[in-house]
């Protein structure tokens, strides 16, 4: 997983090689994680903050107001008879909202309660990182120790430090990105050594310390370091050092039968249909994502960690301070650093088969938000836990994301904004007027409708990302300034002299030529459904909305709102695969017998 974007027709053509969310998923990106290959409007575009009147910005809402807002968000996002979520919003030690919606088990029609236990996916990394830091303070581990001190003989382990495992700069390949890993092997129970054997001889993504890439293998190795230094299983050490002392009675290892018996059921959305989450052995996520917890326990953790009850000041500062190649990605040790409405925010997200999670903390106003969902990804066009958590935190601050009033602009006037804005050698942002509306499309991403909310200011459909159009002294457009998530100083992207890309050609195919392509295709457990409706081929990835496809030839199709191509093979007869070509990557989905 991430996270996530506009609420209109968007097929997020994604690489579901990870467990949805961030590896076992984080978000960083978003959402185990499912690596989203396309999510143009929300992920990297983005714009500035609409000014909020001083009185509004300084007004801290009452607990009752926060509770009403949170309940309304849950009600509009989830079906009470389907998968749902538990939510906790706090200011200091005061609980502003604690509630839930949906079913814990749809077959038994059991309601989801606020004390329910969920797989927390990559939020587990925060605990694993804390486990290593506890060992550092005990003098049993040093952050600059080579990996081989704990795993003798690990390939190139002399060059990999514990620190690099914690902040995703080791270069070790993430096993959840390995072809076929998520199809069947992920269901097998494994020991720590057996899991390490899966990836230890893989070619590195880069030399240690020379790059950054979100990495589940790195956190399996973090778990192995904990085991070697403590002499006990990684999860037992975390229980001894954190869960038991903090009274986290609803937190534990997701492979423990006693924990499994108390955990809610996980689901996935496939369009309007809800299905059981694919099976997984919870030995596989390991320290990267195998913990189970509740909103109350995660709040106990937030308070203890950020109030200074767990670590010395220097240790805590190191945990929340990105360094080296992790700086640009704002990743410390199991914690993502960022901002929300201009305030510092410490967070982590996650996604795994059947579950999506977000844990946020704003240190200045002392606000905590926890959203735990027993559904994989997001429900159709509704926002997921990451977006919900951002909105809840902003509202609790008294600085909610604005609901701007659109400004009507005729198509002729909008034409002045058209052009190719070049981000780098491989990436552009193209603005084009389509059906009288200004749209934006990033290379490899979706085409998103833009709304004018002020002079030369446009908002994306997700309600977060925004940009300002910049002009020179003569009034000529020169560039645009993007504000990701509506935060920060923004990034200026120049308007190039490149012509608008030509619209792709399309051909009409007879019904039999379309019908042969119909079926269910899968990649690492992620389904892609190909259907025919109203004489056109349609594609749906997981729970994303259904998108119509245009035929470029008998075996090549493209969605009109996403910069991608679907290629069916073989070109005649019943296809065995459909390959997604997007953003310089190719992903082959194999036809499923289901």
Instruction: Indicate the CATH number of 411-495 among 3.30.70.1560, 2.40.128.50, 3.10.20.30, 3.30.930.10.
Output: 2.40.128.50
- Helix/strand/coil percent split, the chain, to 5: 25, 30, 45
Q: Which of 499, 498, 464, 501 is closest to 482 using CA atoms?
A: 464
- Cis upstream peptide for 27 (omega within 30°): no
Residue 222's closest CA among 276, 158, 298, 145?
A: 145
Residues of the chain with confidence (pLDDT) below 50: 1-23, 26-57
What CATH code is assigned to 511-591?
A: 2.40.128.50
Helix intervals (H) in 5-118: 40-44, 54-57, 63-77
The answer to whether the beta carbons of residues 436 and 411 sit under 8 Å apart is yes
Neighbours of 61 (CB within 10 A): 17
Of 124, 213, 208, 226, the residue nearest 174 (C-alpha): 213
Q: How far is CA 534 from CA 511, 514, 549, in A?
A: 10, 11, 12
User: CA angle, corner 295, sides to 291 and 297, nearest 5?
Assistant: 65
How far apart, in whole angstroms, are the C-alpha atoms of residue 148 and residue 142? 13
- What is residue 541's three-state secondary structure? strand
Alpha helices (H) in 45-93, listed in sequence order:
54-57, 63-77
**Cα-to-chain-centroid distance, residue 519:** 28
pLDDT digits (tens, 9 = 90+) for 78-135: 999 999 999 999 999 999 999 999 999 999 999 999 999 999 999 999 999 999 999 9
Report how far apart, in Å, the C-alpha atoms of 399 and of each of 88, 250, 272, 396, 453 are: 19, 33, 34, 7, 18
Fold classified for 14-397 = Beta-lactamase (3.40.710)
- Label the pairing between strands 103-105 and 94-101: unpaired
Judge contact between 63 and 29, C-beta under 8 A: no
- The size of the chain, in residues, is 594
- The SS3 call for residue 65 is helix
Do 450 and 458 touch, CB atoms closer than 8 A? Answer: yes
> 444: alpha, beta or left, given left = phi > 0 and alpha = psi -120 to 50?
left
Position 24 scores a pLDDT of 56
From CA 386, how far away is CA 566, in angstroms rounded?
29
Burial class (CB in 10 A: 0-12, 13-18, 19+), 505: exposed
Measured over all CA atoms, what is the biggest interatomic distance in the chain, rounded to whole angstroms?
71
Side-chain half-sphere of 571: how many Cα atoms within 13 Å?
5
Listed residue (499, 482, 500) closest to 491, CA to CA: 482
Burial state string for 516-532 with b = 16 or more CB within 10 A and e = fewer than 16 = ebebbbbbbbbbbbbbe
Q: Do domains 14-397 and 411-495 have the same CATH topology?
A: no
The DSSP line for 140-197 is S--TT-BGGGTSTT-TTGGG-BHHHHHTT-S-PPPGGGSTTTTTTGGGS---HHHHHH
Question: Which pLDDT tens digit goes with each residue over 151-196?
Answer: 999 999 999 999 999 999 999 999 988 877 877 789 999 999 999 9
Taking the domains of the chain in order of start, what are their residue ranges?
14-397, 411-495, 511-591
Q: How many CB atoms lie within 10 A of CB 68?
A: 13
User: What is the pLDDT, as a whole number, of residue 380?
Assistant: 65
Contact of 373 with 543, CB cutoff 8 Å: no
- Rounded to whole angstroms, the Cα distance separating 122 from 32 reads 7
Rounded Cα distance, 227 and 557, in Å? 50
């Amino acid at each position: 997983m991430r996270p996530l974007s506009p609420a209109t027709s968007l097929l997020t053509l994604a690489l579901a090689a990870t467990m949805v969310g961030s590896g076992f998923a984080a978000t960083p990106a978003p959402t185990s994680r499912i690596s989203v290959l396309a999510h143009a409007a929300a992920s990297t575009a983005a714009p500035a903050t609409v000014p909020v009147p001083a009185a509004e910005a300084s007004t801290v809402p009452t607990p009752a107001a926060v509770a009403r807002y949170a309940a309304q968000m849950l009600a509009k996002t989830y079906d009470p008879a389907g998968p749902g979520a538990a939510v906790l919003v706090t200011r200091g030690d005061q609980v502003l909202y604690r509630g839930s919606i949906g079913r814990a088990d749809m077959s038994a029609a059991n309601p989801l309660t606020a004390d329910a236990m969920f797989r927390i996916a990559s939020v587990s990394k925060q605990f694993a990182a804390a486990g290593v830091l506890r060992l550092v303070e005990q003098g049993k581990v040093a952050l600059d120790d080579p990996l081989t001190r704990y795993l003798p003989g690990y390939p190139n382990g002399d060059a990999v430090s514990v620190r690099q495992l914690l902040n995703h700069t080791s270069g070790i390949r993430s096993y959840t990105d390995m072809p076929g890993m998520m199809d069947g092997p992920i269901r097998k129970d494994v020991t720590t050594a057996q899991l390490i054997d899966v990836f230890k001889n893989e070619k590195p993504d880069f030399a240690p310390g020379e790059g950054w890439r979100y990495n589940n293998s790195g956190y399996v190795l973090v778990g192995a370091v904990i085991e070697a230094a403590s002499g006990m299983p990684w999860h037992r050490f975390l229980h001894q050092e954190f869960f038991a002392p903090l009274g986290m009675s609803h937190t534990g290892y997701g492979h423990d039968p006693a924990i499994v018996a108390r955990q809610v059921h996980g689901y996935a959305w496939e369009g309007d249909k809800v299905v059981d989450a694919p099976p997984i052995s919870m030995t596989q996520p390991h320290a990267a994502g195998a913990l189970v917890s509740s909103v109350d326990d995660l709040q106990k953790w937030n308070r203890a960690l950020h109030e200074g009850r767990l670590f010395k000041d220097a240790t805590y500062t190191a945990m929340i301070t990105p360094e080296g190649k992790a700086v640009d990605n704002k990743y410390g040790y199991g914690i993502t650093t960022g901002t929300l409405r201009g305030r510092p925010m410490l967070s982590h997200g996650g996604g795994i088969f059947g579950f999506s999670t977000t844990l946020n903390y704003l240190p200045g106003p002392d606000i905590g938000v926890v959203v735990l969902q027993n559904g994989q990804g997001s429900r159709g066009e509704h926002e997921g836990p990451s977006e919900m958590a951002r909105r809840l935190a902003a509202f609790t601050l008294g600085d909610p994301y604005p609901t701007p009033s659109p400004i009507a602009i005729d198509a002729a006037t909008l034409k002045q904004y058209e052009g190719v804005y070049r981000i780098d050698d491989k990436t552009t942002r193209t603005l084009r007027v389509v059906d009288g509306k200004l749209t934006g499309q990033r290379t490899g991403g979706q085409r998103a409708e833009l709304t004018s909310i002020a002079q030369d200011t446009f908002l994306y459909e997700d309600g977060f990302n925004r940009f300002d159009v910049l002009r020179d002294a003569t009034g000529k457009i020169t560039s645009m300034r993007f504000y990701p998530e509506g935060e920060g100083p923004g990034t200026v992207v120049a308007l190039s002299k490149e012509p608008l890309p030509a619209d792709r050609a399309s051909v009409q195919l007879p019904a039999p030529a379309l019908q042969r392509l119909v079926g269910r295709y899968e990649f690492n457990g992620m389904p892609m459904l190909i259907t025919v409706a109203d004489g056109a081929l349609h594609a749906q990835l997981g729970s994303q909305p259904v998108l119509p496809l245009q035929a470029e030839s008998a075996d090549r199709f493209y969605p009109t709102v996403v910069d991608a191509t679907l290629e069916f093979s073989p070109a005649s007869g019943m296809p065995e695969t459909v390959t997604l070509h997007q953003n310089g990557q190719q992903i082959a989905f194999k036809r499923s017998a289901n």
